[in-house]
Amino acid sequence: MSGLLGRIRPVDAAASVAPTEGLEGITPGGIGERLDVRPGLVSRCFPVVDELVAEAFGQVVGAELDILVPPGQAGSTPSNGSRISSYSRPEKGTAYSAVCGSTPGT
């Protein structure tokens, strides 16, 4: 693999692990294996594995929210009379636009 590993790939791989293996199943070694790269490269992008876990969790929860409350329908009243609470989240891809080695604000 040439160039630096983009942050989106490890997050996507971690998000695919989380539903079946749980958040504790997200490790640099496991994600590196899924991406066919060395674990050190994953660790370089995410020096603290909790950051990778948090981004993967956010991606999984965001996908679930899109299923439960389609975009544009937050705050509407469902047919059963209960109220869906409003939620907001960044546009898809904004959290993953940074490339490994760069962090927001640096």
Mean pLDDT of 54-77: 82
SS3 for the chain is CCCCCECHHHHHHHHHHHHHHCHHHCCHHHHHHHHCCCHHHHHHHCCCHHHHHHHHHHHHHHHHHHHHCCCCCCCCCCCCCCCCCCCCCCCCCHHHCCECCCCCCC
For residue 35, pLDDT beyond 70: yes
pLDDT at res. 100: 54
Per-residue model confidence as pLDDT tens digits over 94-103: 443 333 544 4
Distance CA(90)–CA(20), nearest Å, equals: 26
Q: Looking at the whole model, is its pTM more than 0.85? A: no
